[in-house]
Chain A
Amino acid sequence: MNRKVSALVSKYKVGTLFFLPFFTLFVIFVVLPIFTAIGTSFTDYDLLNPGKFVGLSNYRLLLFDDDIFVTALKNTLVFALFSGPIGYLASFFMAWIINQLRFKSVFALAFYAPSITSSVAMSVVWLYIFSSDRYGFANNLLYNMGFINQPILWNQDATTIMPIIILISIWMSMGTGFLVFLAGLQNVSPDICEAGQIDGIRNRFQELVYITLPQMKPQLLFGAINAISGAFGVFDIAVAFAGMPSPGYAAHTLVAHLYDYAFVRFEMGYASAVACVLFLLTFFFGRICMKVFASND
């Protein structure tokens, strides 16, 4: 028995040591807080005094009595449904095109750069473009072209806030997913492509659908999970652009909702309940992706 264990250990020792640092940090800063949040969601904790156990009352309030939660949920789903798939497809498409050009790294850097820039810095630029006064870039342009007579209040009008934030988050979504796609595309073995061409594949599109995509299932899964968790977690850019809380709760996502409860209203317990709901939602969509992109190797 001992020999089996020690054999196991020595086989995986080096590998374990490699991922141990990351794993430790992951457990401490990601896994443990999830359990803490679940625990806190059953209490009434206001950050300044110790929490009191209240059972399911937070969840009851959340699911049956909170109309802003419904708005937040709707906003988040709209976000996720637009910026998730669109961002995902855009990342893939861009990766596919760049893969066929020369100077791949230069283009890759150009597209990857927005995602590593701080949201706050990006919001400054976008706020300048979509400034609500007469001299904002977009307003000025539309004005000069004769489309409008009064400046559009971009970051105050509930109907314009959402589309702009979707636009910005798509722009910022060329992140690690994009790089992973690029890497995956470069790993598609040329032998299979040749075999495909012999077998009758006529154009690039067919090659894409029948050969490239199936080969890239693991990368696609990774990109999908990234896109989903990114789409559900939109917060920084929404706050920087529309303020907290946004006018008419137009950009109020689930994260904004839980932030509001945690730090403005001092109800950490309730916020943890919202966080758990968010977690379940993300997990659910993630599982669906895993089913779709399951690869058998």
Chain B
Amino acid sequence: MSKLSSTYFRSLRPYFTGRSIQCQRQSICMRPKTVTAPGRRCFTSGARDRAAVGVFTPTAAALFVATGVGLFYYFRYEKQKLLEQRQKELESRSVGRAHVGGPFTLTTHENKPFSDQDLLGKWNFVYFGFTNCPDICPAELDKIGSVMTSLEQDYGTIFQPVFISVDPARDSVSQMKTYLTDFHPHIIGLTGDYATVKTTCKAYRVYFSTPPDADPKDDYLVDHSIYVYLMDPNGQFVEAFGQSSTPDEVVERVKKEISEFEKETGRKV
């Protein structure tokens, strides 16, 4: 045998001796137990059973069961929480919200500046149109008016309808002022220079056809998107109402949105 292998066996010897001692000790320890505990214990024979009993004490069993039950309820609770969260996300308007709206500064029909910041803190109806509009704009503005009257009866003055002109060449501040005397008194008319109106329309995903060099004296019509946008008090887009939505439908929808907003944010407007 080489020198190397002999050292190898020598080094292993203490391990084997140690183990044999342990085995001896265990059998010594176990023996009194089997003797003192007759009955059931007598029938459990063999080192394996005894070892199992040695690890699996009643305390350990109780701990095991308790941990199991605890984990079971913990996971069930976590799963429930996850489900609730997902449900809330589904219901919440903040998920999958369309990116409509953006910064702008225009002039009101009272010749005061008005920016997107002035939309905050109120429920806004934003509508784009022009004063020389043959039939759709006045009909939509009247619809906003009737919706306003109905909602203000229930909620007070927490609404702000905004009418943004897509015909800045003709819709001057005074023109807007005269035009709006025919409609709900709370409607705010907004106009500005062509570039500002264009950027505002772009932010609101509104298309319009007025050429930048339109002659105010000309008799022309403007083709434009005809949606009424509902924006929440945080200035976030909520819904777009088309021509086919009736005033009652709009009122119902707005009421639902208000109660949901109050639930979500915990505050009233």
A, B from the same assembly: no
Q: Which residues of B contact A (CB under 8 A)?
A: none
